[in-house]
Structure 1
Amino acid sequence: MTDRPKDKAALAQRIRDTEMDGAPDQMRAAFSHLFAPLPDVLTETIAGVPCGMFGEGPPILWLHGGGLVLGSPETHALAAGYVAQATGRQVIVPDYPKAPEHKWPAQPDAAQAVLEALGCVPVVGDSVGGQLALIMWMRRPDLVQRLVLMSPNTDRTGLSETRKRDADLMNDHEGDESFARMALGDYDPTDPEVSPATADLTGLPPTMILACGAEILLDDSLIFARRAALAGAEVDLRVWPGLWHLFPLWPDLIPEGRAALDAAAHYITEVSPSSPARA
């Protein structure tokens, strides 16, 4: 069994030492290694999609990241469990179909099926899961109460300048583009489902965006927040200096990750003065 890193520095070293290349199954194993040892997760099938279930109470839908190729309820268990405990609600993490075995739009279609089975709920998404969360709002605005987006993918049209840098331990532009081609094929970057920042954001529900200063997707958060605000949306944007992509997924090792999840939990459970009361 792989021992858990003892602190943030040891985790950073594990990330540096882990090669994220090879066949999809090899990359998935490497990604899982970053979170090892993985816990056993209670799963249920919702609308034909296996889902990790964390906590009890009214549901929260969490769409996990991993470039549409990697990730699972197990890799996101610590973060999802933390939010479940902090909110007193059940967090549901669909294990949606992965590329390249399953081509787009299998991923948002599966997420939509789960959302429609749950009804109107808060939706959380990290990385490409943030993109999926925004697609859920675009497809079914009546079913998305509010959004929490953690370092979301929102723009593939070339506006981002931070995608060009190499300061991010967890992500790089070439890898992000490789996953996109693997999942989306010959995609149109101006398609709102590919680049949600290009969508008409009128009517976007209250939205929290959490990011960090050193990640390549920082501009994806900043560009989207600006466009959402100009469209009249309520936006709460928080950026932690330094760190790396997906930092909230290790709340036991990264204090800033705990702070981000605490902020997310509060945002999910509070009732904004500018929005109606929600169940």
Structure 2
Amino acid sequence: MAGYEVSPEFAELVGQLRAAPFRADTTAVSDLRANFEKFAATFYDPPPVEFVPDNADGVEVEWAYTPGCDRSRVVLYLHGGGYTIGSIGAYRDFCARISEGSGAAVLSVGYRLAPEHRFPAAVEDSVAVYRWLIAHGVDAAHIVIAGDSAGGGLTIATLVRLRDSGVELAGAGVCISPLADLAHTGASVHEKAHADPIVTPEGSHAYGVRYLGDDGDLTDPIASPLYADLHALPPILIQVGTAEVLLDDSLRLARKLRDSGVSVDLDVWPEMIHIFPFFASRIPESRRALKYMHTFIENTIGPSPKQHA
């Protein structure tokens, strides 16, 4: 956007990312994981929060409870990382901020990662955790399924799988920079490659192959929900930046959801990069995006008692 000025903090972050780029296509998985954990730790400065580990029918999960949060309202969070990297620990700051702003408890899911556990392991785990929540008395209407990057695609895939299984759906979904097309057919994959300091076309393709295997179908509708039947899903918020290789994943996903009769809030941020809300501990634009997300959550599953006390 002409004339748009990013914050100094954001400009510094982009410089930092360009100085030490993520090379997902040429770096060993073990190193990718270790590097991301170190990187995420530099953004760890959460509000007051209690983290409580739990086990959801064999899936590692962790609760984030900020003071006064309404534990009957739950954001089920699916982290990003190309189905290969990322963890509950790396997302603690972000999950704490979601809990603080939304007034809900946040349940972070440690789903199995590729290439050790390929598709559909991640979907099986997210569905199992959702079913576990329902079995433990959480009202589906008071659940938001949310995720970033691969976790954003997994959010839609989980909702589709639950719908097809006849399970009552969550009250809403939130997708941050979703990876919705592992075939990478969107024009932005190449048009935005110069602008995106996190995702490269080659790196994103490498993640897809790790997840699906060399002979996997990159257009499988559960692995790449852009190709799925999206009717009858709950309201969806999609947040994305214009400086993203995966920008067209968001734009096309929003269009298909709307064409399927789903209520969609497409929140596009000029100059912002992949998963930019994740950097809220340092970046003012990220904090504003989180505030927008919190309002969406309140509008779809209802406010917490503390927000209207």
TM-score scaled by length of structure 2: 0.81
Farther off after superposition, 168-177 or 148-157:
148-157
Structure 2: tracts of 5 or more residues without a match: 1-7, 135-139, 305-309
Distance 1:19 1:30, change over 3 A: farther
- Residue in structure 1 matched with residue 172 of structure 2 by the alignment: 146
1:194 to 223, 245, 254: 223
Cα deviation for residue 223 of structure 1 reads 0.4
In 2, are the aligned partners of 1:145 and 1:278 still within 8 Å (CA)?
Answer: no
Cα deviation for residue 236 of structure 1 reads 0.4
- Residue in structure 1 matched with residue 56 of structure 2 by the alignment: 46
- Counterpart of 1:17 in structure 2: which amino acid? A
- Counterpart of 1:135 in structure 2: which amino acid? A
The alignment status of 1:229 with 2:271, answered yes or no, reads no
1:33 to 32, 35, 38: 38
Whole-angstrom distance in 1 between the partners of 2:184 and 2:15: 31
Instruction: Report the secondary structure of 1:211's partner residue.
Output: strand
Whole-angstrom distance in 2 between the partners of 1:239 and 1:149: 12
- Residue in structure 1 matched with residue 153 of structure 2 by the alignment: 131
Whole-angstrom distance in 2 between the partners of 1:256 and 1:17: 21
Q: How does 1:48-63 map to 2 (within 5 A)?
A: 48-55=58-65, 56=69, 57=71, 58-63=73-78
Whole-angstrom distance in 2 between the partners of 1:240 and 1:278: 25
1:173 to 201, 209, 221: 201
In 1, are the aligned partners of 2:235 and 2:300 still within 8 Å (CA)?
Answer: no
Instruction: Report the secondary structure of 1:270's partner residue.
Output: helix
Cα deviation for residue 278 of structure 1 reads 10
Cα deviation for residue 107 of structure 1 reads 1.1
Distance 1:67 1:271, change over 3 A: closer
Cα deviation for residue 59 of structure 1 reads 1.6
- Counterpart of 1:70 in structure 2: which amino acid? I
The alignment status of 1:101 with 2:101, answered yes or no, reads no
Farther off after superposition, 187-196 or 63-72:
187-196
Instruction: Report the secondary structure of 1:236's partner residue.
Output: strand
- Residue in structure 1 matched with residue 19 of structure 2 by the alignment: 17
- Residue in structure 2 matched with residue 3 of structure 1 by the alignment: none
Q: Percent identity?
A: 33
Counting matched residue pairs gives 270
Cα deviation for residue 52 of structure 1 reads 2.5
Whole-angstrom distance in 2 between the partners of 1:134 and 1:215: 19
Cα deviation for residue 243 of structure 1 reads 2.0
Farther off after superposition, 44-53 or 222-231:
44-53
- Counterpart of 2:16 in structure 1: which amino acid? R
Cα deviation for residue 158 of structure 1 reads 4.7
Two-structure CA RMSD over aligned residues (Å): 2.1
Cα deviation for residue 63 of structure 1 reads 0.5
Structure 1: tracts of 5 or more residues without a match: 1-5
- Residue in structure 1 matched with residue 5 of structure 2 by the alignment: none
Instruction: Report the secondary structure of 1:171's partner residue.
Output: coil
- Counterpart of 1:33 in structure 2: which amino acid? K
Cα deviation for residue 149 of structure 1 reads 0.6
Instruction: Report the secondary structure of 1:32's partner residue.
Output: helix
Distance 1:7 1:157, change over 3 A: closer
The alignment status of 1:114 with 2:129, answered yes or no, reads yes
Whole-angstrom distance in 2 between the partners of 1:203 and 1:143: 9
Whole-angstrom distance in 2 between the partners of 1:93 and 1:256: 23
In 2, are the aligned partners of 1:69 and 1:179 still within 8 Å (CA)?
Answer: yes
Instruction: Report the secondary structure of 1:144's partner residue.
Output: coil
Larger RCO, structures 1/2 (Cα 8 Å, 6+ apart) = 2
Instruction: Report the secondary structure of 2:89's partner residue.
Output: coil
- Counterpart of 2:41 in structure 1: which amino acid? A
